[in-house]
Structure 1
């Protein structure tokens, strides 16, 4: 392998390992918090909380003006051009100011319209949720903005520490305190808002400390117009991409009861576990892919894309297949018998994210290659399909219809993004060995599904055995069919050294892999 490839790969692995630790910690806490809240409040109350939080997040995305997605690339470009620290600081500081102004205006609008929205949707109690969540719009937007500035500098630790760990540790502690004291619904709302403020304020202290050392935040409104011209298309991308996640909740909130919203949102919490590998790759991948594109090194970008996609599939697809196989056991164990009807929702969502992992970081690569409009076009088409399906299915099928609509949008968006990426750069991750690995894994899971239906397997040990069997097969299969090459093991070895200080596992797998020889 070329020295340049190894260096880029080690950067991906190092950043990905830090990001994975923070993200996995946060998502595990988020899942635990969700389970606690679901079991603590009534089903209808959880539906109102979920619906209100989605509406607040829409305000965050709009108020951020697309800068959450554009700042990392703008800063990475400045660094590639070897611009001065002051010039880079102007991009960071001006971007944060614009985000503060946009989100601040929308937070006032959101608070003022709470009663009208609740009355229009015929959701008693929703106005209380909306008023509470209006107070988290500004800090959440700026928290994400601070993360974006450090991401552009290829620093993963601040996001892991503040946006991931601090916010969710604070939320966990506050939710537990709410349960102990007995504050019920109002206490849960307060815990959600206060935790965001805690994480934001601690991030501000950290950023100001760094500011004294390097002057990384400056204001220059002369560059604001140019930044917005680049960012606004990404605002559309951000909204349309998030509609893939939000359309089900939004349409359920409009046409169905709060209980149906809860039946959809409870299993949807588990999808964060399916996203961690892709997000770990994408967080540090985007700035590096930008540099490779600027230097017109598409061959190295293609190899980086292929290697990253393989590991995403290895760690995502088995979990997705287990969710399909054992959905009813999972939702009743975590959320209670009241949520048994949501098992089919989990199965549909898992299938969608299985396809998402196979397609690789297509959207991140298109953005890195300066093609945000292509991402927007594909996402608009996919979200349009989701809205159409939602209108057709949700009024009659409720949560199940919402799951079908959002999953269809996710798959469509990925297919369009992958096609456009291949057309523009020739980058893709599919080859014969990769296809064989995926098909064999799906076949194995199909066999285990029928094994799991046997009466003898209907106990905790049987369900645990299914999980272990799926993952054991998934880890052995890529080695057995020779799907992995030397670059893939370079990535795994770098991550392993970063986490454990050793490389025994990657060395062992490399020894028995056909593709690495």
Structure 2
């Protein structure tokens, strides 16, 4: 393939990924808004202890619910595009996904419901968690079916179920239901009930939408239960370790400290997770696209797609990081109340790892898309071991900041290992001048400004407007590359929005 054809293919792929990413990111904006309103409502209407119990109950159900999914969400995301050129096998993948998901989700949900007294009493020594865990167990079969439907649509490179339902309607309905239940005086049980009701609404609608998106097959399905399970089941370990790694701090804080401390820490954790959420949503269609490109032997295009997506993720997410890092007390106090401001230092620690994560891109999802499930499990196991060890050592000594250090260090370890393996095995890495130059320049401006403000004994949050003034000029000067203008045209055509202003801003020197 000629160089021009390589570039054309890369632009085609990235335009598809970014078009889906734009749609999912717009949905994510609504999801974040609704999620913040939900968190603020719970923080204002519940005590810190009751809020911590809600977080703990949902975390328990979420991690056990991973078994119910059996890795099918990530497995189907790869298996469907892998077989989609064979209608009988593709149809079999769809049938196997829903059949296995329903059976497993119901079984695990029932087991959690029955085991709630043991979990609440023996593990957390808090019997008041029993009704919360039992109600939350209803989420498991619903969320399993929900995720399977979204993953099949994702495998077909369609982001609409994720954007319209999971990131717009479902979080919005959760906020409304939670607020109503709490105002009715249902306290923690009402907060859990709002979550259950929103998942029920979302599941019904997302299954209907996926049914309309997937092809209408006119062939009998080939039995695909075995290949779907063979690829998906190892992902239980990957997802389980991943969830444990990203939630071990919640369990450790809940174990070593009081419920109120957990509520304070969770606010900082949720704010830092905004960064990861934007990264995942903007690159929502990247993994199935990498699967298609690599299956077709297009290694150069796979690498270039990864680099271009990573670059624009850095551009999009960095302003959020700057605001949260330099004005954490202001953000937390304004949104959640002064009682949660002690979580500001933990938030800053967590954001350091998020910056590294932005630069490294979706390396774990990339490895799964390229079939390296076993390697991903090793990477996440290493992360989890580091996280658990640091949490055990640090939380009893320095409190929630110790949990943040464990999470940050383990995240950096995992991202470095993931990118190193991607580069070694597939010659795929996220680094390019157009990524490193703006990141280094903006980071330098922020650091020098913060140092000057510290010397002058001025508030550090003044760093935010200073960086805001130079951010756009730096992006315009250092970020655009030759592919980006054609890419902008493709995205404009696909989403149906006039982006001529963006074109003039970024590429004015080319006019």
State the TM-score bracket (shorter-chain normalisation).
Answer: over 0.9
Where structure 1 has 5 or more consecutive residues not aligned to the other structure, the ranges are: none
Cα offsets for 1:116-149 (capped at 9, x unmatched):
2221212242112111101111101111111001
Whole-angstrom distance in 2 between the partners of 1:108 and 1:219? 30
1:388 CA displacement? 0.8
1:415 CA displacement? 0.5
**Larger displacement relative to structure 2 (246-255 or 485-494):** 485-494
Whole-angstrom distance in 1 between the partners of 2:33 and 2:218? 32
> What is the aligned partner in structure 1 of residue 146 from structure 2?
143
Evaluate the alpha carbon distance shift between residue 111 and residue 136 of structure 1 in structure 2; reply closer, same or farther with a 3 A threshold: same
Whole-angstrom distance in 1 between the partners of 2:28 and 2:475? 25
> What is the aligned partner in structure 1 of residue 160 from structure 2?
157
1:336 CA displacement? 1.0
Matching of residue 184 in structure 1 with residue 174 in structure 2: no
Whole-angstrom distance in 1 between the partners of 2:183 and 2:295? 55
Cα offsets for 1:190-245 (capped at 9, x unmatched):
1111111111122233345567x81599876x421221111122221112222231
> What is the aligned partner in structure 1 of residue 335 from structure 2?
334
TM-score, normalised to structure 2's length? 0.92
> What is the aligned partner in structure 1 of residue 262 from structure 2?
261
1:327 CA displacement? 1.2
> What is the aligned partner in structure 1 of residue 503 from structure 2?
506
1:344 CA displacement? 0.7
1:38 paired residue among 20, 40, 43? 43
Whole-angstrom distance in 1 between the partners of 2:220 and 2:51? 42
> Contact conserved, 1:253 with 1:261, CA < 8 A, in 2?
yes
> What is the aligned partner in structure 1 of residue 96 from structure 2?
94
1:485 CA displacement? 0.9
> Contact conserved, 1:118 with 1:127, CA < 8 A, in 2?
yes
SS at match of 2:320: helix
1:61 paired residue among 51, 61, 66? 66
> Contact conserved, 1:367 with 1:375, CA < 8 A, in 2?
yes
Cα offsets for 1:343-402 (capped at 9, x unmatched):
011101111111100011212221222212111111111111111111111222222111
Evaluate the alpha carbon distance shift between residue 195 and residue 432 of structure 1 in structure 2; reply closer, same or farther with a 3 A threshold: closer
Whole-angstrom distance in 1 between the partners of 2:497 and 2:454? 39
> What is the aligned partner in structure 2 of residue 109 from structure 1?
111
Whole-angstrom distance in 2 between the partners of 1:342 and 1:63? 33
SS at match of 1:351: helix
Whole-angstrom distance in 1 between the partners of 2:507 and 2:423? 29
- Count residues with an aligned counterpart: 504
> Contact conserved, 1:31 with 1:270, CA < 8 A, in 2?
no
1:466 CA displacement? 4.3
TM-score, normalised to structure 1's length? 0.91
Whole-angstrom distance in 2 between the partners of 1:318 and 1:207? 34
Evaluate the alpha carbon distance shift between residue 43 and residue 202 of structure 1 in structure 2; reply closer, same or farther with a 3 A threshold: same
2:55 paired residue among 36, 50, 56? 50
Cα offsets for 1:260-311 (capped at 9, x unmatched):
2112111211134212442134311111111111111111111111111111
> What is the aligned partner in structure 2 of residue 168 from structure 1?
171
1:246 CA displacement? 0.6
> Contact conserved, 2:170 with 2:198, CA < 8 A, in 1?
yes
Whole-angstrom distance in 2 between the partners of 1:37 and 1:309? 34
Root mean square deviation, CA, Å: 2.4
Cα offsets for 1:388-427 (capped at 9, x unmatched):
1111112222221111111111111100000000101111
